[in-house]
Chain A
Amino acid sequence: MTVDLTTHAAALALGDDTLVLSHRLGEWAGHAPVLEEELALANIALDLLGQARVLLSMAGDEDELAYLREERAFRNLQLVEQPNGDFAHTVARQLYFSTYQHLLHAELAAGEGPFAPLAAKAVKEVAYHRDHAEQWTLRLGDGTDVSHERMRRACEALWRFTGEMFQPVEGVDVDWAALETAWLASVTDVLGRATLSVPEGPRTGAWAAGAGRQGLHTESFGRMLAEMQHLHRSHPGASW
């Protein structure tokens, strides 16, 4: 498949989002609070990895792109690279991202751009991810005092990374402003039903705005890549 440079860059941005979030979810294997969540988190991670493989393959060789780029060449959102933290942080990150991804893919699937075929498949998977995140937001927010407090803190801690999702990505033909409005309405609704309030801080800090998309990442990301890439880089040219 030949793709133009703009599509190439856009595929990389969307592909990196899913690759990195999938990796973070993989860190939960064997650590989840109940067996059902071992299944659910691995299931979501596997969906995201599948999306990443399609997107990265649009931009080049999936393994070369995943394993041989340095931190500065990754184009993912800072939100998805945030460490798992406790289960509430993982749920908040999933809520913010899957709501965004669902709205984005619904629009892309309806269009005729290069991402429409992928989006048509992904939108079904992401609807499930979004539902899973919403259900857990409700359970934790409207559960015990402890879980409420943990969920509140998680939502606040990740809030400043949410603005970056709506920085237009060149080559992704959607109405970004409308996407942002819809996202905010949906998240406000879910948080309200979970007896949580929408965090007050800015959604885009002066330091975070558009940074991940430009290859400027938060500190833990380098360590994540070191683990992810180590084996592949130790055996140059080997196939697995």
Chain B
Amino acid sequence: MNTPAATGAPPQPRSLESAFEDTIARDQRVEPRDWMPDGYRKTLIRQIAQHAHSEIIGMQPEGEWITRAPSLRRKAILFAKVQDEAGHGLYLYSAAETLGADRADLTEWLIEGRQKYSSIFNYPTRTFADVGVIGWFVDGAAICNQVPLCRSSYGPYGRAMVRVCKEESFHQRQGYELLLTMMRGTEEQRAMVQDAVDRWWWPSLMMFGPPDDNSPNSARSMAWRIKRHTNDELRQRFVDMTVPQAEKLGVTLPDPELRWNEERGHHDFGTPDWDELKRVISGDGPCNAERIARRRAAHEEGAWVREAATAHAAKQAARASEGAAA
């Protein structure tokens, strides 16, 4: 971003703001040292932090099945996936920190319920097929959301997304491949897959957020090119992408209104239960309490370990400076 060179004179707010607007208009990237409006900074901190929280809370529903994975290959895949998610959380917290946020604060806000995470992770994983369906639907929806974010106006966020998307698409294929394997298996395995599809379909559509006419932050995020597409556009893209995959897999999607619309060139589909979404994001979903309790417990039970690491580092530093003084 081009800002006037420092001349000793106090910066002109007008020119800073117009330079910012210009950067956005020319589809260039805003970088951490650039001036940005307070609202832009706050919106980004909120969005990136909640994205990071989603990665971290998202480790739980699948992590549930690591110790029960039915083959060593699947167990290895789950380990690698949960590890990737922790890594994505770290990238995103780093991106949020470039905006002046502090990771420790963000963690506090998560466990105090002051910041949110993706609604989807408040649903329970009841069978092993859920692991596959999470890969297929949830990672699929995440990809629809995140690929456009690779071009987000804020540089560090866009670059984090590039790395995240590469790994997510790998997970999505692995999830789908698990389901293909199960659909070629026993009658019970097929029933397990269909049941998981039935339970996760609507919650996955809700991952894109409320409908456009009821999405308070969307317009501004789009104007700032933090977001590139509306919730409804992305939801439509996800449905269009997923329907043929469902056919190939041999499962039905639990929506009687779902059909191809020749005129629109898109699938028509039913309306998600927006009241359910409202309840889930306000804390009243099936697993909200458990997810936060788990995060809080890990954080609190780990306090002595973090304190030890800090104390040890301080002792090492003191010894080093004593050594240098001697």
Contacts and interface: CB of A to CB of B under 8 A. Distances in A.
Interface string B53-90: 00010011001001111111111100110110011011
Nearest to B66: A26
Interface stretch (B183-191, B203-211, B248-256, B275-283): B183-191
A33 B69 CA distance: 24
A87 B128 CA distance: 28
Contacts of A53: 72-73, 76
Contacts of A63: 71-72
Closest 9 CB pairs of A and B: A33-B302, A143-B308, A147-B308, A29-B63, A33-B305, A42-B83, A38-B86, A139-B312, A26-B66
Interface in A1-39: 19, 23, 26-27, 29-39
A165 B97 CA distance: 46
Given A39-B86, A227-B68, A235-B70, A147 B305 contact: yes
B71 A33 contact: no
A231 interface: yes
Given A31-B301, A240-B71, 6 more contacts: A33-B298, A42-B80, A49-B76, A238-B70, A238-B188, A240-B69
Contacts of B87: 39
Nearest to A33: B302
Contact of A43 (B83, B93, B182, B302): B83
B55 to A, nearest CB: 9
A201 interface: no
A37 B86 CA distance: 9
Given A38-B86, A53-B76, A150 B304 contact: yes
B309 interface: yes
Binding site secondary structure of chain A: helix
Binding site secondary structure of chain B: helix
B266 interface: no
| Contact count band on A | 35 or more
A29 B309 contact: no
B308 A235 contact: no
A56 B56 CA distance: 33
Contacts of B306: 33-34
Given A67-B70, A240-B181, A30 B315 contact: no
A210 B178 CA distance: 40
A62 interface: yes
Nearest to B291: A30
Given A33-B305, A50-B76, A231 B68 contact: yes
B223 interface: no
A32 B56 CA distance: 12
A19 B76 CA distance: 11
A124 interface: no
Contacts of A150: 304
Contacts of A237: 186
A25 B303 CA distance: 20
Contacts of B303: 33
A87 B298 CA distance: 11
A42 B67 contact: no
A56 to B, nearest CB: 8
A87 B305 contact: yes
B307 interface: yes
User: In the complex, which of the residues B76, B79, B294, B306 has the most CB atoms of chain A within 10 Å of its own CB atom?
Assistant: B79
A31 B63 CA distance: 10
A33 B301 contact: yes
A166 B68 CA distance: 31
23 contacts: A27-B67, A29-B59, A31-B294, A31-B298, A33-B302, A33-B306, A38-B82, A39-B83, A42-B86, A50-B76, A142-B315, A143-B309, A143-B311, A144-B307, A146-B304, A147-B304, A147-B308, A147-B311, A150-B304, A231-B69, A231-B70, A238-B70, A240-B181
Interface residues of B, number: 48
A240 B68 contact: no
A184 interface: no
B66 A147 contact: no
A46 interface: yes
Interface string A31-75: 111111111001101100110110010000011001100000000
Given A43-B83, A228-B67, A235-B186, A144 B298 contact: no
B312 A143 contact: yes
A124 to B, nearest CB: 18
A230 B65 CA distance: 11
B128 A240 contact: yes
Contacts of B299: 33
A140 interface: yes
A29 B71 contact: no
A156 to B, nearest CB: 18
A72 B29 CA distance: 62
A198 interface: no
Contacts of B70: 67, 231-232, 235, 238, 240
A104 to B, nearest CB: 22
